[in-house]
């Protein structure tokens, strides 16, 4: 019987890249073949004593094989032991203890034999052991007394368990012991103190052992420390001292090793396992540990440091990792080192594992069993489970060490051969059968597969085949040309065709042809080349304040035929989109940014074939606040990851998960998120399973059948999410038939002669068993024809050669290897649509108003629609305007009338225009033929608003208005209407109305007063009426404020009066003249002859100084009192009424010739006399000029 065909996507792209090259040839299950072991328990099989024992052994073959077992190399009679049974169609042993019995009685070495008439296959030798978790011996522990600064080792010595328990240290109150480079747990479980401090007395120390299979934790009696010290611990000044050891009187010591002892040791490790080297040192201060390898560097790709650098782990050790390693312990007092010599041994490992040999009668072949190890393993051959030496002789068979050679094989040569290679560290057992068949070529994959691949990628086209003799395979493209091999193509031995770099021209149909002497077979693969997905606008790093909004862009270009999914990661973990976030196709928006939003954001744009990603960093600026208490001053952070995940209460559909919380880092944990991963459908991808409050650390998780679960836990506080915990152990639930069928089943035509049936595929948690597939059934509705059916592995199936748009009944049922799902619901689907064949008839147009018409038509016959009637659609366009010389756009517009309607309204037309109109029927495929063209004319309407309405105010007496004609007159303009109103604050005047002819576009308004403003409303008119109005206000005067009195308004308006402007010009001219005179006088010097205003010669009696200067004693020419002329020609008021002459008393009062004062003041004037000569004339600018002249 033929096995199920693999789903099409199995052959796509890189799924074949690694698997298709070297896979062994499989014989189809409908052909005779010897047994093959397909499943077996591990070699060291440890079982839980509380459960029934299960020893697995499954095999395939044709005919189906029978099974028997040996125990400790002797036949194990299953029928004689009532507790032991064998599963149906399987060799799996079940040992049931529900009725009593001790599991220890069944410990031993088991081996399974699967046999049919063509040979016998063997399982590994399975060593069955029962898990043991002995109790801790009772003991009374005295307090441990130690001097401060001394080293200390607290020994755990757990009871021996199978397997060894997991050790961890806690206090008696179940608080974890904080570990650092001073205090840490060794690999042997002991707790090491490099130096003891007085604060170590604050807790006790209890060793805990967790046993895996019994899911129990045993606790040793706690150790109590008594530390002898010179200083009390509550001395905060010493505790915070930068050199705490010396401040507390602890003597500093050079390092010494606590583990291992001495200066050198050796260690043996098996190839492929992990090498763990450990060095723990004491000393004051606490030593640092560094690791080195003599003669080379540590393997950077495999080496990692653990336990605060005290342990070096090298993963997957190989022979080149042997040699000498040393650890260096150092502090400021000195350093020491310990050398560890590492020897790498090896259990047997395959160099060439024997593979099944399929031959035609008369062909030659060979089986090769080549292994290596340290020491070198020995090879033993067996046939059908018996040593080859004791088997009947076969002249066509020759043994040459690790190779068996077959010549001129015949049908009688069929058998199963075993190769056993072993040394002191282990063994390998392999089965390989020899099958002799005469079979013409046949193809094993689905026909006419579709493979989609991204441009410029590498891909492989697989063409699984079978035949005996083994056929040769050749590839052709588009049914022509020579065999494809070389250049951009490469054909592997198994027939897979590799295309090294996909180009657009590689798209097409590829044909593989398998040929042997008995015939040939061929298959086709259609290759489609898709454009890559690229992020062309990436998110950028941003800095934001709390409470603001941030947008991260992520614009993507992708192949339009592929479905694009854009997702976001935060700190490399899936981002939870809460109500503060909005995710769109091209951006992520965060509203009200908080401190927990700080971090990296990664945009992932993916299709089913490829993906691209881009990362940006968001920095959130925290508020600078002063902490109000000590707790608020502590920095808050994301919680540490939970640890020590444990699965208990294992059941078919549930399991209990327990974890130990990590540090909350000063922000309480509010929530735990439990995630799961399964390794069948989406390995490596984690999904949210459930959420629990922050106070919970144990929960029962509901499970689905046939899922190999692995769990992890994430802690959440107000700052953010922790890193995920380390994964738990895996737990596979048993299988079952599907409990429900796929949803969203649809049947729609993609072409006029097909129907595509689609559904939402079921995920890993709803598959419930292996080989999930779908039984698709369909038949025409309302007929009694039989159901058509097909089994599909994907999520779509296309039914071809269907009539145009007929209803079908559709059912999709899930099925796996355990059985079928429930009876599915029937869904109605339709085959593909074709374009409608008829147009609406008797179309009537009635004008409703200047912008709308009503339509009426006769419906088309249903058989002419050829699909689902979506709508009737009117196409219309503006042919011309009734106004001369007015250009119009003739762009076609449309109006849709959904459903089977017979009338509708078309609105938003332009008035005063000629229109044309056509109607069509629309279905899912598109438009049908167009109806006859109808013409109609819209009547005159009201115009649109006047354009560019401008209000200007050239002065305080007038306001000027200007405007342009409306953009859409919608008829013949008859004029314009203007309404305007004066307003002053909250006071509004009487409304005034002005009407203008259609050619007027200006108007001037005389203001009634200089204070009020005006509001103008302008509209255009046709014979139908006034159209849309536009409103503007006159500009506000500069520095306008709310008037409180008439005086305030008058003062604000003086600056614009003509008389005031003239006065200011005259004053400016006088000031200019004054400046010129000052400049001339200053250039002539400080002393100069002065004549009186009378033009008379000087007499001898005139008082005269020797230097030719005169006193200013004439009262007519004395300087002005109370004022001073500055150099810039302005008159400045003195701070007092005293004249400078008043200060001439006591001498001649000589002044420097600096231009500030001209002449000498020698006569003292009475203050009263000076004041009596003041007059209004003296303050005028003209008199000031005369006084200087």
The answer to which of 294-298, 620-624, 748-752, 786-790 has the lowest mean pLDDT is 620-624
Cβ–Cβ under 8 Å, residues 710 and 688: no
The answer to which of 433-437, 642-646, 928-932, 1045-1049 has the lowest mean pLDDT is 1045-1049
Q: Where are the alpha helices (DSSP H) in 240-298?
A: 244-247
Predicted confidence band of residue 1116 (pLDDT cuts 50, 70, 90)? very low
Cβ–Cβ under 8 Å, residues 688 and 673: yes
pLDDT higher at 560 or 216 = 560
Can you name the residues that pair with 68 across neighbouring β-strands? Answer: 113
The answer to which of 380-389, 841-850, 1035-1044 has the lowest mean pLDDT is 1035-1044
Task: State how far the alpha carbon of 725 is from the alpha carbons of 18, 299, 404, 713, 1012, in Å.
Answer: 31, 27, 51, 5, 77
The answer to which of 161-170, 231-240, 589-598 has the lowest mean pLDDT is 231-240
Angle at alpha carbon of residue 702, lines to 696 and 707, rounded to 5°: 125
3 state SS of 586:
coil
Residue 1121, pLDDT > 90, answer no
Residue 43, pLDDT > 90, answer yes
| Nearest residue to 1010 via CA among 1043, 979, 976, 1053 | 1053
| Nearest residue to 196 via CA among 183, 206, 185 | 183
Task: Give CA torsion, residues 168, 169, 171, 172, to 10 deg.
Answer: 60
Would you list the DSSP string of 433-499? EEEE--EEEEE-S-SSEEEEEETT--EEE---EEEESPPEEEEEETTBSS---BTTEEE-TTSPEEE
Residue 233, pLDDT > 90, answer no
Helix (H) / strand (E) element for 1158: namely none
Mean pLDDT value across residues 586-595: 91
Cβ–Cβ under 8 Å, residues 455 and 503: yes
1129: alpha, beta or left, given left = phi > 0 and alpha = psi -120 to 50? left
Count Cα atoms within 13 angstroms, Cβ side, for 925.
22
Would you list the DSSP string of 285-319? SPPEEEEEETTB---TTTEEEETTTTEEEESS--G
Cβ–Cβ under 8 Å, residues 473 and 441: no
Q: Give the strand pairing for 426-436 and 357-359.
A: parallel
| Nearest residue to 312 via CA among 257, 262, 274 | 274
Residue 1091: Cβ within 10 Å count: 10
pLDDT tens figures, 1003-1016: 999 888 878 889 99
pLDDT at 14: 36
Kindly report the pTM of this predicted structure.
0.49
Predicted confidence band of residue 1185 (pLDDT cuts 50, 70, 90)? very low
pLDDT at 766: 85
Cβ–Cβ under 8 Å, residues 719 and 597: no
pLDDT tens figures, 640-672: 999 989 998 888 889 999 998 988 888 899 999
Residue 1175, pLDDT > 60, answer no
Residue 253, pLDDT > 70, answer yes
720: alpha, beta or left, given left = phi > 0 and alpha = psi -120 to 50? left
Mean pLDDT value across residues 335-358: 93
Name, in order, each residue with C-beta under 8 angstroms of 850's C-beta and a sequence gap of 6 or more.
Answer: 909, 911, 912, 938, 939, 940, 941, 942, 970, 1024
Mean pLDDT value across residues 89-118: 91
pLDDT at 24: 55
Looking at every residue in the chain, the average pLDDT score rounds to: 83
Predicted confidence band of residue 1048 (pLDDT cuts 50, 70, 90)? very low
Cβ–Cβ under 8 Å, residues 327 and 291: yes
pLDDT tens figures, 676-719: 998 877 888 999 999 999 988 889 999 988 889 999 999 999 99
pLDDT tens figures, 477-515: 887 766 787 788 888 877 889 998 899 888 999 999 999
pLDDT at 1137: 42
Residue 810, pLDDT > 90, answer yes
Task: Give CA torsion, residues 308, 216, 40, 678, to 10 deg.
Answer: -60
Residue 37, pLDDT > 60, answer yes
pLDDT at 17: 38
Residue 1181, pLDDT > 80, answer no
Predicted confidence band of residue 16 (pLDDT cuts 50, 70, 90)? very low
Cβ–Cβ under 8 Å, residues 132 and 216: no
Q: Give the strand pairing for 449-454 and 489-491.
A: unpaired
Mean pLDDT value across residues 881-900: 89
Task: State how far the alpha carbon of 334 is from the alpha carbons of 331, 455, 1086, in Å.
Answer: 6, 62, 94
pLDDT at 565: 93
What gap in Å lies between CA 603 and CA 260, rounded to an integer? 50
Cβ–Cβ under 8 Å, residues 790 and 845: no
The answer to which of 97-106, 180-189, 355-364, 422-431 has the lowest mean pLDDT is 97-106
What gap in Å lies between CA 1024 and CA 973, rounded to an integer? 10
pLDDT higher at 1033 or 1117 = 1033
Cβ–Cβ under 8 Å, residues 284 and 245: yes
What letter does residue 1059 receive in the DSSP assignment?
H
What gap in Å lies between CA 386 and CA 415, rounded to an integer? 11
pLDDT at 1187: 38
pLDDT tens figures, 843-887: 999 999 999 999 999 999 988 999 999 999 999 999 999 888 888
pLDDT tens figures, 524-579: 999 999 999 999 889 998 989 888 999 999 999 999 999 999 999 999 999 988 88
What gap in Å lies between CA 349 and CA 531, rounded to an integer? 44
What gap in Å lies between CA 681 and CA 378, rounded to an integer? 40
The answer to which of 402-406, 729-733, 1039-1043 has the lowest mean pLDDT is 1039-1043
pLDDT tens figures, 813-840: 999 988 899 999 999 999 999 999 999 9
pLDDT at 456: 87
How much of the chain exceeds pLDDT 90, in percent?
A: 54
Residue 937's Cα: distance from chain center in Å?
A: 58
pLDDT at 1057: 63
């Amino acid at each position: 019987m033929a096995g199920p065909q693999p789903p099409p996507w199995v052959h796509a792209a890189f799924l074949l890249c690694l698997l298709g090259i070297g896979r062994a040839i499989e014989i189809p299950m409908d052909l005779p073949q010897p047994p093959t072991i397909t499943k077996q328990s591990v070699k060291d099989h440890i079982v839980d004593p509380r459960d029934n024992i299960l020893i697995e052994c499954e095999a395939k073959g044709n005919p189906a094989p029978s099974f028997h077992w040996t125990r400790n190399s002797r036949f194990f009679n299953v029928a004689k032991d009532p507790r032991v049974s064998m599963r149906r169609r399987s060799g799996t042993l079940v040992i049931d203890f529900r009725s009593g019995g001790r599991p220890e009685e069944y410990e031993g070495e088991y081996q399974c034999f699967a046999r049919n008439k063509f040979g016998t296959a063997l399982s590994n030798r399975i060593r069955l052991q029962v898990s043991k978790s002995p109790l801790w011996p009772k003991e009374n522990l005295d307090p441990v007394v130690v001097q401060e600064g001394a080293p200390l080792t607290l020994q755990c010595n757990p009871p021996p368990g199978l397997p060894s328990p997991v050790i961890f240290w806690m206090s008696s109150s179940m608080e974890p012991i904080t570990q650092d480079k001073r205090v840490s747990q060794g690999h042997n479980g002991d707790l090491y103190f490099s130096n003891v401090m007085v604060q170590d007395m604050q807790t006790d120390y209890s060793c805990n052992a967790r046993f895996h299979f019994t899911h129990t934790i045993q606790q040793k009696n706690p150790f109590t420390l008594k530390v002898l010290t010179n200083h009390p611990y509550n001395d905060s000044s010493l505790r915070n001292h930068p050199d705490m050891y010396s401040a507390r009187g602890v003597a500093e010591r050079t390092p010494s090793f606590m583990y291992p002892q001495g200066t050198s040791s050796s260690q043996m490790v098996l190839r492929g396992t992990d090498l763990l080297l450990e060095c723990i040192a004491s000393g004051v201060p606490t030593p640092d540990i560094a690791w080195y390898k003599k003669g080379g560097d540590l393997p950077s790709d495999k080496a990692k440091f653990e336990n605060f650098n005290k342990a070096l782990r090298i993963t997957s050790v190989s022979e080149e990792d042997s040699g000498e390693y040393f650890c260096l312990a150092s502090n400021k007092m000195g350093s020491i080192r310990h050398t560890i010599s590492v020897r790498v041994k090896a259990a047997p490992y395959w160099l060439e594992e024997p593979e099944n040999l399929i031959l035609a009668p008369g062909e030659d072949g060979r089986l090769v069993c080549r292994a290596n190890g340290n020491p070198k393993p020995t090879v033993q051959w067996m046939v059908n489970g018996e040593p080859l030496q004791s088997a009947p002789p076969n002249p066509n068979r020759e043994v040459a060490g690790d190779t068996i050679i077959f010549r001129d094989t015949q049908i009688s040569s069929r058998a199963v051969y075993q190769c056993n290679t072993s040394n002191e560290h282990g063994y390998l057992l392999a089965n390989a059968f020899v099958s002799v068949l005469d079979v013409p070529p046949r193809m094993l994959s689905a026909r006419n597969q579709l493979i989609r691949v991204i441009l410029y990628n590498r891909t492989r086209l697989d063409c699984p085949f079978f035949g005996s003799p083994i056929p040769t395979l050749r590839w052709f493209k588009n049914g022509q040309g020579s065999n494809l091999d070389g250049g951009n193509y490469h054909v592997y031995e198994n027939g897979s065709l590799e295309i090294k770099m996909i180009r657009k021209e590689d798209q097409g149909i590829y044909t593989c042809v398998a040929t042997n002497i008995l015939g040939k077979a061929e298959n086709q693969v259609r290759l489609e080349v898709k454009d890559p997905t690229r992020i062309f606008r990436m998110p950028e790093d941003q800095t934001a304040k709390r409470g603001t909004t941030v947008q991260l862009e992520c614009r993507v270009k992708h192949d339009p035929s592929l479905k694009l999914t854009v997702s976001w990661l935060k700190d490399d973990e899936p981002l939870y989109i809460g109500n503060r976030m909005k995710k769109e196709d091209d951006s992520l928006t965060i509203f009200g940014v908080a401190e927990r939003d700080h971090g990296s954001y990664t945009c992932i744009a993916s299709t089913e074939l490829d993906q691209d990603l881009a990362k940006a960093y968001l920095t959130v600026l925290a508020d600078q606040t002063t902490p109000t208490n000590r707790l608020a001053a502590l920095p808050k952070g994301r919680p540490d990851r939970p640890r020590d995940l444990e699965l208990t209460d294992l059941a078919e559909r549930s399991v209990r998960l327990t974890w130990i919380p990590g540090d909350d880092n000063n922000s309480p944990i509010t929530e735990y998120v439990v995630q799961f991963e399964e390794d069948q459908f989406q390995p490596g991808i984690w999904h949210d399973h459930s959420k629990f409050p922050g106070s919970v650390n144990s929960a029962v998780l509901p499970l689905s059948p046939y899922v190999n679960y692995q769990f992890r836990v994430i802690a959440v506080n107000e700052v953010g999410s922790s890193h995920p915990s380390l994964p738990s152990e895996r737990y596979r639930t048993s299988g079952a038939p599907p409990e429900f069928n796929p949803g969203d089943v649809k049947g729609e035509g993609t072409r006029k002669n097909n129907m595509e049936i689609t559904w939402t595929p079921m995920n890993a948690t709803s598959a419930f068993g292996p080989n999930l597939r779908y039984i698709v059934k369909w038949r025409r509705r309302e007929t009694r024809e039989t159901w058509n059916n097909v089994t599909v592995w994907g999520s779509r199936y296309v039914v071809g050669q269907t009539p145009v748009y007929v209803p079908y009944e559709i059912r999709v049922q899930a099925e796996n290897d355990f059985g079928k799902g429930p009876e599915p619901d029937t869904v109605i689907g339709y085959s593909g649509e074709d374009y409608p064949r008829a147009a609406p008839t008797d179309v009537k147009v009635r004008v409703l108003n200047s912008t709308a018409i009503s339509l009426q038509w006769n419906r088309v016959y249903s058989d002419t629609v050829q699909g689902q009637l979506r709508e009737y659609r009117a196409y219309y366009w503006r042919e011309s305007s009734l106004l001369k010389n007015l250009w119009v756009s003739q762009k076609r517009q449309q109006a849709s009338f959904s459903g089977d309607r017979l009338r509708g309204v078309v609105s938003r037309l332009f008035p005063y225009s000629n229109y044309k109109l056509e109607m069509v029927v629309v279905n899912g495929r598109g438009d049908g033929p167009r109806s006859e063209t109808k013409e109609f004319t819209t009547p005159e309407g009201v115009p649109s608003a006047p354009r560019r309405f401008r209000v200007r105010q050239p002065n305080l007496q007038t306001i000027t208005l200007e405007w342009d004609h409306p953009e859409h007159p919608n008829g013949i303009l008859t004029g314009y209407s203007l309404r305007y109103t004066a307003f002053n604050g909250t006071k509004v005047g009487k409304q005034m109305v002005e009407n203008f002819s259609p050619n007027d576009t200006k108007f001037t308004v005389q203001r009634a007063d200089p204070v009020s403003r005006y509001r103008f409303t302008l509209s255009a008119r046709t014979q139908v009426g006034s159209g849309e109005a536009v409103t503007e206000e006159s500009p506000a005067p500069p520095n306008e404020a709310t008037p409180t009195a008439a005086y305030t308004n008058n003062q604000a308006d003086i600056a614009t009066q003509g008389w005031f402007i003239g006065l200011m010009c005259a004053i400016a001219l006088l000031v200019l003249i004054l400046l010129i005179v000052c400049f001339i006088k200053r250039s002539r010097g400080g002393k100069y002859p002065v004549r009186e205003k009378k033009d008379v010669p000087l007499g001898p009696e005139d008082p005269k100084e020797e230097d030719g200067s005169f006193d200013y004693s004439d009262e007519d020419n004395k300087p002005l009192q109370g004022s001073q002329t500055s150099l810039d020609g302005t008159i400045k008021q003195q701070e007092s009424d005293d004249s400078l002459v008043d200060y001439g008393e006591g001498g001649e009062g000589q002044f420097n010739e600096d231009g500030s004062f001209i002449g000498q003041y020698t006569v003292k004037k009475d203050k009263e006399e000076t004041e009596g000569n003041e007059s209004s004339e003296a303050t005028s600018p003209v008199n000031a000029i005369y006084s200087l002249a």
